[in-house]
Amino acid sequence: MTRIALALVAGAALVVFAAVTIGEYPLSAADVWLAALIVPALLGSIMSTIAKRRRAFWLAAGPLAGGAVGWGIGISTTWGIEPVPVDAWFALVFAALWPIGWGALMFSRPASTSQRALTPEYQSSTDGQLSDTGRVRGSEIGDP
C-alpha cells in the first residue's frame, strides 16, 4: 500500500510541476502538443514504475495529465482573460486520452515471453543450467 501512496504523491507533484511549467510560457501549438506528449508519458512511467502496477497507473495517467495540461493552459491564458488557441483544446483532449489507449492496448496483451519461459524447453534443470530437449520448433530471431 505504501508504493501506491508514494506513486500518487509523485504523480500529484508532477501534475503541479507540469501545470506551472506549461503556464509560465506563452501558448504556441508546438509547446502545447509537446506537453500533451511529454507530461502523460512521464506521469504514466513514473507512477507505474513506483507502484509496480503498470496498467492501472497508465489508465490513471490520462485524466491526471489532461488536468495538468488544462491547468497549465488556464495559468498561461490568465484563466480565460486571453483567448485560448484551438490547438490547446485538442492537445488537452489528446493528453487525457492517449495514455488510456496505451494502457489498454499494451498491457492487455498476453505476455508471450513469460508464458514461453514456463514451457519445458526453457525451464532450468537442477544444476541451474537451461535444459534443451533438442526439439526444433521453427526459426527464431538470430537463426541464420
Which residues are bridge partners to 71 per DSSP?
Answer: none
Cβ atoms within 10 A of the Cβ of 37, count? Answer: 14
Instruction: State the Cα torsion 32-34-36-40 to the nearest 10°.
Output: -140
Element (H, E) at 111: none
Instruction: Grade residue 63 by pLDDT with cuts at 50, 70 and 90.
Output: very high
- Among 112, 111, 122, 36, CA closest to 73: 36
> Please, are residues 71 and 21 in contact by the beta-carbon 8 Å criterion?
no
pLDDT at 137: 65
The pLDDT value recorded for residue 26 is: 85
**Taking CA 44 as the corner, what is the angle to CA 39 and CA 31, rounded to the nearest 5 degrees?**
10
Is the predicted pLDDT of residue 33 greater than 90, yes or no?
yes
Across the range 32-46, mean pLDDT stands at 94
* pLDDT tens, position by position, 84-137: 889 999 999 999 999 988 888 877 766 555 555 555 555 555 555 555 556 666
